[in-house]
């Protein structure tokens, strides 16, 4: 009988170890209603390439020409349509050389989403493929047409000289994940600087062919579209990236599924736009923005907002079919590259926050060491932000001191504007202690750091990093976590452990039995894990604005990053600052004063 109780204790202790570990590594959360975030406008600093946008009529009631435009140089065709004709249809893209000489056309990328009545799924899938299957544009960045408007909306004076936003990070696909950053060999990467380059791989099967058209000649491109049936009420979306040395006229068609595209193109008539009027030819298929301030996690929370038609203005273009000037409301079909410089020694968490309504799409975050694609949402829901502006999703944690580049294309069916929130890394997600099965001693190390809030008292933080021995023990326990969890559930289902630190240097875990709510009267299991006592914490005081800067320097000199043999970095979280420094660095010119509107 006694042996059976010991067996139960061992199983429950092991199960608790796994439970504690999973709880310790829960994803960070943030609430921007209660936490302070300072605005960091992102101004438009570069644009290039031409976009033919085909989205009006969005709900197509008859076959015909959906969009038409002329492109020379680097170009993109982006289509987004719902079949509402009552019969099966297909989409085709026809290209004609309208120049005087032979047109050499390089098709660089052809991607499409699967037609579906789930419109968020279609928009999200194409958004993700656009990141997974990159096509690099070699044309130079140009000064944006709406540059002055962008700077004015951000509250900055327009610089006298112009250069595209500079970064040493080259976005590309190294790894793919839905929730957490790509794991790298930290021993190999820890001395790598922010200037490291990331090569963009050449992926097969997404285009990559050339064709030559004599003057006046025409052909279909993206021939795979000819095999895709679009049924009633299904949304179909895709894009083509190409380069042509001569002007080429492009028609996007919807036609009966058995029709021949080249024959049908000769008889098809243009369709009228709907009220949204999202079609036409626009310059700026690729857009670069620069965050106007350098972000330091020690300053607290901050955010950037995109797709707001203020600092990030909507493209202006012209519809050749109706001869109207139009606006791409939402910049759909545009590939974004948002550059943010960071400084300091702390880590920071990145969150996504939709502001215009439901959103479902993907984003790539690149810091020069990893390129990670994040899906939004990542919990199986259809979208994020339905009926609220307060939904957030954790994307990843990054080390300050490296440029951060956010790459994405606004997802079809989703709403804008959107925000990216930055917040000092939450120490709660790091393991503060490790609990193993009974009789297993897991030594840990500890350190302390000074974390200063805007009050008269200092905040003491005690963080414990995992040692190599702890990591190895945990690895063994986690390998058997499923079996332990099942056994624990069978022995004492519904048990909730309690955690207390009754003595300095120990963590006491009490496991109640199913028959009593008192840990002391339960199974009587107390697991103590020795922990090192934190060193003393220096005290800092805030006594007015005149001491703020000197205190900040003092705190930075006291703070340290602690890395164990398992490369687990532990840092404390400073309370958020209510405002950014007025003399924040800008990427434009040292002589340019920070001038807000109305000043």
Greater confidence, 41 or 546?
41
**Banded pLDDT at 559 (limits 50, 70, 90):** very low
Lowest mean pLDDT among 61-70, 167-176, 243-252, 334-343: 167-176
Question: What is the rounded CA–CA span in Å between residue 277 and residue 316?
Answer: 12
What are residue 106's DSSP bridge partners? 210, 243
Residues 374, 375, 376, CA angle at the centre, nearest 5°?
Answer: 120
Which pair of tokens denotes residue 593?
Answer: 């004063």
What residue ranges do the domains of the chain occupy?
Answer: 2-25+431-570, 38-424
What are residue 386's DSSP bridge partners? none
Report CA torsion sign: 183, 185, 190, 195.
negative
> HEC profile for 161-218?
CCCCCCCCCCCCCCCCCCCCCCCCCHHHHCCCCCCCCCCCCCCCCCCCEEEEECCCCE
Q: Give residue-wise pLDDT tens across range 338-384.
A: 999 999 999 999 999 999 999 999 999 999 989 999 999 999 899 99
What are the start-end ranges of the H helices in 242-293? 261-267
Task: Give the CA distances from residue 362 to residues 76, 170, 179, 335, 395, in Å, rounded to whole numbers and listed in that order.
Answer: 20, 18, 11, 12, 11
Q: What number of CA atoms fall less than 13 Å from residue 553's CA on the CB side? A: 3
Question: What is the rounded CA–CA span in Å between residue 54 and residue 66?
Answer: 6
pLDDT for the residue 37? 94
Candidates 290, 356, 329, 246; CA nearest to 144 is 290
Q: Determine the number of helices (DSSP H) and then strands (DSSP E) in the chain.
A: 8, 27
Query: Given a cut of 80, is residue 550 above it in pLDDT?
Result: no
Contact 161, 589 (CB under 8 A): yes
Which pair of tokens denotes residue 317?
Answer: 């273009």
Backbone angles phi, psi at 303, to 5 degrees: -150, 155
Which pair of tokens denotes residue 315?
Answer: 């493209």
Q: Is 243 helix (H, G, I), strand (E, B) or coil?
A: strand
Greater confidence, 33 or 467?
33
Query: Given a cut of 90, is residue 515 above it in pLDDT?
Result: no
Is the pTM higher than 0.85? no
Greater confidence, 230 or 162?
230
Contact 345, 556 (CB under 8 A): yes
How many other CB atoms sit within 10 Å of the CB of residue 314?
21
Candidates 418, 414, 415; CA nearest to 124 is 414
Candidates 405, 404, 403, 381; CA nearest to 391 is 381
Question: What is the rounded CA–CA span in Å between residue 485 and residue 67?
Answer: 58
pLDDT for the residue 473? 43
pLDDT for the residue 236? 98
- pLDDT, averaged across the chain: 72
pLDDT for the residue 173? 54
Question: What is the rounded CA–CA span in Å between residue 165 and residue 406?
Answer: 13
């Amino acid at each position: 009988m006694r042996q059976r109780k010991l067996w139960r204790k061992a199983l429950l202790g092991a199960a608790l170890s796994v439970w504690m570990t999973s709880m310790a590594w829960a994803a960070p959360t943030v609430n921007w209603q209660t936490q302070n975030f300072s605005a960091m406008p992102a101004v438009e600093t570069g644009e290039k390439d031409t976009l033919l946008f085909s989205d009006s009529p969005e709900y197509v009631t008859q076959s015909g020409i959906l969009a038409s435009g002329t492109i020379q140089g680097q170009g993109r065709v982006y289509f987004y349509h719902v079949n509402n004709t009552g019969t099966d249809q297909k989409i085709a893209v026809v290209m004609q050389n309208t120049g005087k000489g032979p047109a050499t056309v390089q098709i660089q990328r052809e991607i499409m989403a699967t037609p579906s009545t789930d419109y968020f799924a279609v928009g999200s899938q194409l958004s993700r493929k656009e990141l997974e299957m990159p096509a690099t544009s070699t044309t130079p960045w140009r000064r944006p047409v709406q540059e002055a408007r962008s700077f004015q909306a951000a509250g900055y004076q327009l610089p006298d000289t112009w250069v595209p936003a500079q970064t040493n990070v080259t976005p590309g696909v190294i790894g793919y994940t839905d929730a957490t950053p790509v794991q790298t060999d930290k021993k190999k990467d820890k001395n790598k600087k922010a200037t490291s380059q990331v090569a963009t791989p050449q992926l097969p099967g997404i285009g990559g062919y050339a064709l030559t058209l004599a003057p006046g000649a025409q052909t279909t491109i993206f021939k795979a579209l000819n095999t895709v049936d679009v049924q009633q009420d299904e949304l179909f979306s895709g894009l083509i990236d190409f380069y042509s040395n001569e002007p080429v006229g492009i028609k996007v068609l919807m036609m009966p599924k058995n029709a021949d595209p080249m024959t049908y193109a000769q008889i098809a008539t243009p369709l009228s736009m709907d009220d949204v009027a999202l079609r036409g030819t626009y310059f700026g298929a690729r857009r670069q923005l620069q965050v106007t301030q350098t972000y330091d996690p020690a300053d607290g929370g901050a955010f950037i907002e995109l797709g707001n038609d203020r600092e990030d203005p909507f493209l202006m273009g012209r519809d050749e079919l109706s001869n109207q000037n139009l606006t791409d409301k939402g910049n759909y079909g545009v590939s974004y590259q948002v550059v943010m410089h960071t400084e300091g020694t702390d880590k920071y968490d990145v969150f996504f926050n939709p502001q215009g309504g439901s959103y479902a799409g993907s984003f790539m975050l690149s810091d020069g060491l990893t390129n990670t694609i994040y899906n939004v949402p990542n919990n199986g829901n259809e979208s994020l932000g339905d009926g609220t502006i307060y939904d957030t999703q954790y994307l990843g944690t990054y080390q300050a001191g490296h440029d951060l580049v956010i790459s994405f294309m606004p997802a079809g069916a989703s709403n804008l504007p959107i925000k990216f929130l930055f917040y000092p890394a939450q120490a709660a997600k790091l393991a503060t202690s490790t609990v193993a099965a009974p009789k297993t001693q897991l030594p840990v190390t500890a350190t302390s750091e000074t974390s200063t809030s805007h009050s008269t008292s200092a905040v003491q933080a005690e963080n414990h990093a995992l040692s190599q021995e702890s990591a190895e023990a945990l690895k063994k326990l986690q390998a058997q976590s499923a079996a332990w969890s099942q056994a624990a559930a069978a022995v004492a289902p519904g048990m909730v452990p309690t955690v207390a630190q009754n003595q300095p240097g120990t963590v006491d875990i009490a496991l109640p039995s199913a028959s009593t709510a008192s840990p002391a009267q339960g199974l009587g299991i107390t697991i103590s894990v020795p922990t090192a006592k934190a060193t003393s914490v220096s005290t800092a005081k805030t006594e007015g604005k005149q001491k703020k800067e000197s205190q900040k320097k003092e705190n930075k000199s006291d703070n340290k990053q602690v890395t164990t043999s398992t490369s687990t970095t532990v840092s404390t979280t400073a309370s958020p600052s209510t405002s950014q420094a007025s003399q924040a660095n800008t990427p434009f010119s040292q002589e340019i004063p920070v001038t807000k509107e109305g000043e």
